[in-house]
A and B are shown apart, each in its own frame.
Chain A
């Protein structure tokens, strides 16, 4: 399946999808030193976002969250790419400064955790077989 979106930070990446139907706050919600989601009660709580194609509707929380994405990248713990329904300032700025490929206007209902996803510019291809 091929999906077309809007490229926020252009790049190529390939990896396993990790999907959250809830927004993610990077400041306070993701631990930059372990790559794990730590927001209490979040559907991804306890899961690592490292090396994943991280997929969620939109960002939320403090604008300092942009720096958390940057720190994850510096620590080698960043996701390989981020796909959103609607990207906002925190995620957009975070992906640009951390140089993480980011695409929005993606119908995330079509993608499930475990799918293999390939990102190339504004084009996203999804393999439904679980690797």
Chain B
């Protein structure tokens, strides 16, 4: 790989230990994936923030990078943490966990990272433009950035995204190159989709088709796709298919003028219903945890919940998770007060995927196909996937 004289300087350690480590990571990845050079990025989003995932090893590494003089060179935000930073007691978080989580965030802050902890950075002030090169790591946000905004990112890991933040660079390979962004298989959707849960199921069906081939899907037949539908689809496609990019007619800027790939798969209502069925192994009777906010909720979704909860009382543990940015607006509009008066918990900075809640509940009701995957594999809960309004009703 060709390095500029400044990049050589970073690699040799002349700009400090943390910058050197960051360059070693980027150069090694560039060599592995055949990049010819490093290119500048305009935005970074770092995963691996929850202490539940990082453990002491991750905390120690991040502290050493901060001690080693690491400083971000571009706008950088974080993935959700393991708790609401301001209000963790209310979620039943252990004080020892909270202390470790605060140390993780403190290390990021020392490096100049904006401590906005969200999987929807594009709704919280970290919004790149079309064709910008970025280094994001939250898988659903990677999918959204590539496919809806038309920005260019690979699916980074936590350390490689941090390395990009500290150098402002990423190796040029994969989805940074236009030739790798062409769709290679067409999915013709012949099913009716009107709920976030159904878009999640569609993500699972298409994801399972491309899991091995890593094909870029071209998706036809989606007449209406709101922001909320698309973010649910992105999360599910990334979880079940490892996808970083899809092209959807009418949504993806690059999809205009593309000739659909010849290999075509039809997705029917029957397949969609089978996927919905496969995501539920619990019964409504067993539900003791209700969760909305995977990915983090938009303001419109919080308004919707507020209208349904106004003047009522929830009977089950109900988490409503969003970014700090959206939570502040919900506070300002009085939504938070109404939700909390109903006994539900609106939490910022965290979500049901990364919070330390293993074994705490029997069965979770959600509208998110991604949340079902992690609830089953990580937390050992049964799951039930329902349309958005039905999920709210489960709590009442």
Residues of A within 8 A of B (CB): 6, 8-9, 32, 63-64, 66-68, 70-71, 74, 87-90, 92-93, 96-97, 104
Return A82 CB to nearest CB of chain B, in Å. 13
* Chain A hits for B53, CB < 8 A: 64
B57 touches A92 (CB 8 A): no
Residues of B within 8 A of A92 (CB): 25, 28-29, 32
> Which of A6, A8, A70, A88 interacts with B61 by CB under 8 Å?
A70
Chain B contact-residue range equals 20 to 34
Top-9 shortest CB links A-B:
A71-B57, A63-B157, A67-B57, A67-B58, A93-B159, A92-B28, A96-B24, A70-B57, A70-B61
Among A68, A88, A93: residue with most chain B CB under 10 A: A93
Whether A67 pairs with B55 at a CB distance below 8 angstroms is yes
Chain A contact residues, majority secondary structure: helix
The reply to whether B32 and A64 form a contact with Cβ atoms under 8 Å apart is no
Residues A90 and B157 in contact in the complex (CB < 8 Å), given A70-B60, A71-B60, A96-B21: yes
A and B contact pairs by CB, cutoff 8 A, 11 listed: A8-B28, A8-B31, A8-B32, A63-B47, A63-B157, A68-B57, A89-B32, A93-B29, A93-B160, A96-B21, A97-B159
**Complex formed: what's the CA distance from A97 to B23 in Å?**
11
A39 to chain B, nearest CB (A): 15
Tell whether A67 pairs with B54 under 8 Å between CB atoms, given A93-B159, A93-B160. Answer: yes
Report B's interface with A, CB cutoff 8 A.
21, 24-25, 28-29, 31-32, 47-48, 53-58, 60-61, 137, 157-160
Do A64 and B56 touch (CB < 8 A)?
no
Which residues on A sit within 8 Å (CB–CB) of B158? 63-64, 66
Instruction: Please judge, given known A-B contacts A64-B48, A92-B28, whether A71 and B21 are in contact too, CB under 8 Å.
Output: no
Q: A96 → chain B, closest Cβ, in Å?
A: 5
Chain A CB count within 10 A is highest, among B28, B48, B55, for B28
Given contacts A67-B61, A93-B25, A96-B25, 16 further A-B contacts (CB under 8 A): A8-B32, A32-B57, A63-B159, A64-B54, A64-B158, A66-B159, A67-B57, A68-B57, A70-B60, A74-B57, A92-B25, A93-B29, A93-B159, A93-B160, A96-B21, A97-B61
Across the interface, which residues of A come within 8 angstroms of B48, CB to CB?
63-64, 67
Q: How far is the CB of B56 from chain A (nearest CB, A)?
A: 7
Residues on B with beta carbons closer than 8 Å to the beta carbon of A96: 21, 24-25, 28
Q: What is the CA–CA distance of A87 and B55 in the complex, to the nearest angstrom? A: 24
Complex alpha-carbon distance, A87 and B30, angstroms? 12
- Give the residues in chain B near A63, CB-CB below 8 Å: 47-48, 137, 157-159
Residue of A nearest to B58 (CB): A67
Known contacts A63-B48, A89-B157, A93-B157; A71/B28 CB under 8 A: no
Could you tell me the distance in whole angstroms from the C-beta of A68 to the nearest C-beta in chain B?
A: 6
Q: Nearest chain A CB to B102's CB is how many angstroms away?
A: 19
Determine how close the nearest CB of chain A comes to the CB of B252; give it in whole angstroms.
26
What A residues does B55 contact at CB under 8 A?
Answer: 32, 67, 71
On whether A74 and B60 interact (CB within 8 A), knowing A63-B158, A64-B158, the answer reads: yes
B32 touches A9 (CB 8 A): no
- Enumerate chain A residues within 8 angstroms of B137, measured Cβ to Cβ: 63
Q: What's the Cα separation between A8 and B157 when bound, in Å? A: 17
Residues of B within 8 Å of A70, CB to CB, are: 57-58, 60-61
Complex Cα distance, B155 from A90, in Å, reads 12
Task: State the CA gap A105–B243 with chains docked (Å).
Answer: 26
Residues of A within 8 A of B157 (CB): 63, 66, 89-90, 93
